[in-house]
Amino acid sequence: MDFTLRIWRQENEQSKGRFEIYKITNVSADSSFLEMLDLLNQQLVDKFEMPICFDHDCREGICGACGLYINGRPHGPDDAITTCQLHMRKFKDGDTIVIEPWRARPFPIIKDLVVDRTALDKIIEAGGYISVNTGGVPDANEIPISKKNADIAMDAASCIGCGACVAACKNASAMLFVSAKISQFAMLPQGRIEAKERVKRMIDKMDELGFGNCTNTGACEAECPKEISLTHIARLNREYFAAKIS
Which residue, among 180, 171, 190, has the nearest Cα to 232 in the 3D structure?
A: 180
Secondary structure class of 104 (helix, strand, coil): coil
Please state at what angle helix 118-127 crosses helix 175-186, rounded to 10 degrees: 30
The pLDDT tens digits of the residues spanning 181-191 come to 999 999 988 88
- Looking at CATH, the fold of the domain delimited by 118-245 is given as Fumarate Reductase Iron-sulfur Protein; Chain B, domain 2 (1.10.1060)
Which residue, among 209, 200, 196, has the nearest Cα to 120 in the 3D structure?
A: 209
Which residue, among 79, 89, 80, 74, has the nearest Cα to 30 in the 3D structure?
A: 89
The pLDDT tens digits of the residues spanning 204-226 come to 999 999 999 999 999 999 999 99
The pLDDT tens digits of the residues spanning 29-74 come to 999 999 999 999 999 999 999 999 999 999 999 999 999 999 999 9
CATH number of 3-111: 3.10.20.30
Confidence of residue 146 (pLDDT cuts 50, 70, 90): confident
Confidence of residue 238 (pLDDT cuts 50, 70, 90): very high
Secondary structure class of 217 (helix, strand, coil): coil
Least reliable range by pLDDT among 110-114, 123-127, 242-246 = 242-246
Residues 168, 222 contacting (CB under 8 angstroms)? yes
CA dihedral 155, 160, 161, 165 (to 10 degrees): -60
Q: Where do the domains of the chain lie?
A: 3-111, 118-245
Q: What is the pLDDT of residue 143?
A: 66
In the chain, pLDDT over 70 holds for what percent of residues? 98
Q: How far apart are the first and last CA of the chain?
A: 61
Q: Which amino acid is at 169?
A: C
Neighbours of 128 (CB within 10 A): 19
Beta bridge partners of 73: 70
